[in-house]
Structure 1
Amino acid sequence: MKGERKLKELLKSLNKDERIIILCHHNADPDALGSAIALSRLLLHLGFKNVRIGIAQSIASYARKLTLFSPVPIEKDPIIQEKYVFIVDTSSLEQLAPIDIPPSSYLIVIDHHTEKENPIPADISLLDPTKTSTSEIVWEIFKKYKFSDEESAKALLAGIVSDTSNFRYANAKTFKTVYEILNLYEISLGEIYQLIAPVSDENIEQAKRVAVLKACQRMQIHKFRKFIIVTSKVSAYEALVCKVFVNLGADVAIVGSEKKGEVRISARARENIVKMGLHLGKIMEKVGDIIDGAGGGHAGAAGANGKKNLDKAMKFLVKEIKNELKKISG
């Protein structure tokens, strides 16, 4: 992979006392956090003593169990004093807001997304859009160093399972990586599914049901040609409600929330719409300026975080999605 040799030369040249930080996008999911944790374990193995992980804004609820595998501090919105900055599973600097990266920083980007319009100005890039997760790229780096441990393997498997939606979007390379990991360790996939399952108790489950039912009450249906776009607002569980709407029959679902000066938007699309060419992540990137924040994500699942203009942003997203559907459906 392009950049691997350059990375190896860099790490070999650095003093082991050099401070390094690994950054993840806002609302870090299991792929972002799992990749960062595994990478931190590799850096410690190589002898680096001062490593930490930085998260923009928050960690997704279904990724929080992975923090147990981190051997280094995980900090929210850290002030960066390190010269060497790894950025994982993140295609634009906007997704790292409000983290401020000094201009003098040396940037190493590891990602399975590619950003054509406004890419991160990396000194070293390890990008592979043929991979279904960033965790797979980190595993390839592990192989170059002939390194792995069971905790890293679990973190990477969690990232792979999550980003492929339980292997729905997996390809041959995905299964090759999973085979290589499972061939080394006696890890059950059931254990990995439990790692990325949201923490549940009776009160939380009731709150989720209430959120879904209220979202259904507020649902707006936007018909466009043969497609159904559904929008709604909730106070929490935006991603969950999106999934429910798609399961109920929506082609695309957009759900937003606004609470205590924080705006959050989640979007999901049916697999057949994604195969036609719709990319919600690219559309969600455009909404950052409207909400005074940042957005991005995958083709079939995306999100944004900001401070204002939820209604304006929702209308904008519906319009943009209709424009894209018009292009891809002919």
Structure 2
Amino acid sequence: MSKSAELHDLLADGEELTIVCHNNPDPDCLASALALGRIAAHAGIDERRILYSGDISHQQNRAFVNLLELDLQQFDPESVGERAADSLVAFVDHSVPGVNNEVPEDVPVDVVIDHHPAEGIDARFADHREEVGATATILTEYVHELDVAFDQTLATGLLFAIRRETLGFLRGVTGDEYDAARILHEFADPDMLRRLSTPAVSGATVDAIADAVDNRVVRGSVLISHVGRTNERDALPQAADYLATLEGVETAIVFGIVDDEIELSARSTDSRVHVGNVLRDIFEDVGSAGGHREMAGGQIPLGVFADLTADGTDAELVGIVARVVTNRLVSGLKLADESGASGGSSASDTSGAPAESGTDGA
């Protein structure tokens, strides 16, 4: 039995489906949720909802939600807690409770569809394909195989998600993405695709990217920078994308303080570096990080950093965070310092603060 048929059979036994997006969902997650909802409707499930945690702040993500008129609801832990046997919970574009989502770790999950590296996936149905470039690629395959109708909204959403996740078919793309795009092309709305690709950028986002440009430190082919404190969470991946295009730079890592966490975003074209593994290894004792070979992210609770400057200024906190995180990256990546010596100091060596600040799900 194909994976699509297996999924359809499982959904056909359900009466209600709750689709949980990861924190701060992107187009790949949102389009996949939309597609899974359409498959569930095809299987006879009338009660469907899409939940998300965090913010939809990136201008492209906001445009995506608005133009496709997605019906989203804020996540409530009670909505995935005790439930009837015919009420199903699905994850798209993430896979493990408590990791990049607000779902309690003991909640059973019925459906997982994802392409991100992960361990410990436990679900009645799981399709976990790290080798493909986008979760939307998998959902396109399902919709096509199950003869679910591709209307303009669904096709446009899936095609844009694949394009965005693969950076215009240039990053982590496989033949499956091209096959999916061929299927979706005849149904998608070209005008809507153009509007999604060129949304307005806020002044705060531009300011954050400018700060990343000003604060950059380059060691060989690696660039490390920070944006200080910002409310524009999605400026970090945009800054990383931009800085990764600088001449001579193969790996760009940008971080900043967002609310009560340190957020990181990384990009790499260096075939010797798996940037997801790099971030995970460097920060697994203080937070949560990981991702793909070319694209990764992470979150670190402020924890002890905030305590160190309880009586000080926010500028002092930013300075400590910038120093500690930069030196952890320099040490973990074994970068040469300005004198030519290999970086080897720990975060606590630099700031006097212990490296541990607790752990948190990403």
TM-score, normalized by length of structure 2?
0.73
The gaps in structure 1 that reach 5 residues or longer are: none
CA contact (8 A) 2:113 2:128 kept: yes
The gaps in structure 2 that reach 5 residues or longer are: 306-320, 336-341, 343-362
Distance 1:11 1:277 in 2: 42
- CA radius of gyration, larger in: 2
Deviation at 1:163, TM superposition (A): 0.8
RMSD, matched Cα: 2.8
Q: Structure 2 matches for 1:1-330, cutoff 5 A?
A: 3-14=3-14, 18-61=15-58, 62-68=60-66, 69=68, 72-76=71-75, 78-79=77-78, 80-81=80-81, 82=83, 83-100=87-104, 102-103=106-107, 105-115=108-118, 118-147=119-148, 148-169=150-171, 170-183=173-186, 185=187, 187-188=189-190, 191-200=192-201, 204-205=202-203, 207-223=204-220, 227-234=221-228, 235=230, 236=232, 237-249=235-247, 250-269=249-268, 271=269, 273=270, 276-286=271-281, 287=283, 289-291=285-287, 294-308=288-302, 310-311=321-322, 312-322=324-334
- Superposed CA deviations along residues 131-178 of structure 1, whole A, max 9, x for unmatched, are 211101001111232012221111111110111101113333212211
- Superposed CA deviations along residues 216-242 of structure 1, whole A, max 9, x for unmatched, are 33222334xxx3332333334222222
Distance 1:9 1:92 in 2: 23
Cross-structure match for 2:354: none
- Name whichever structure is richer in helix by fraction: 1
How many residues matched? 303
CA contact (8 A) 2:153 2:188 kept: no
- Superposed CA deviations along residues 270-301 of structure 1, whole A, max 9, x for unmatched, are x2x1xx2422233334535514xx43333222
Deviation at 1:257, TM superposition (A): 1.4
Structure 1 vs Structure 2: percent identity of aligned residues?
23
C-alpha change, 1:304 and 1:114, in structure 2 (3 Å) is: closer
CA contact (8 A) 2:97 2:106 kept: no
C-alpha change, 1:60 and 1:317, in structure 2 (3 Å) is: farther
C-alpha change, 1:248 and 1:186, in structure 2 (3 Å) is: closer
* Structure 1 SS opposite 2:244: helix
Deviation at 1:254, TM superposition (A): 1.6
Distance 1:70 1:78 in 2: 25
C-alpha change, 1:76 and 1:9, in structure 2 (3 Å) is: closer
C-alpha change, 1:177 and 1:3, in structure 2 (3 Å) is: closer
Deviation at 1:186, TM superposition (A): 5.3
* Structure 2 SS opposite 1:278: coil
TM-score, normalized by length of structure 1?
0.80
* Structure 2 SS opposite 1:290: coil
CA contact (8 A) 1:256 1:263 kept: yes
Deviation at 1:305, TM superposition (A): 3.0
C-alpha change, 1:63 and 1:166, in structure 2 (3 Å) is: same
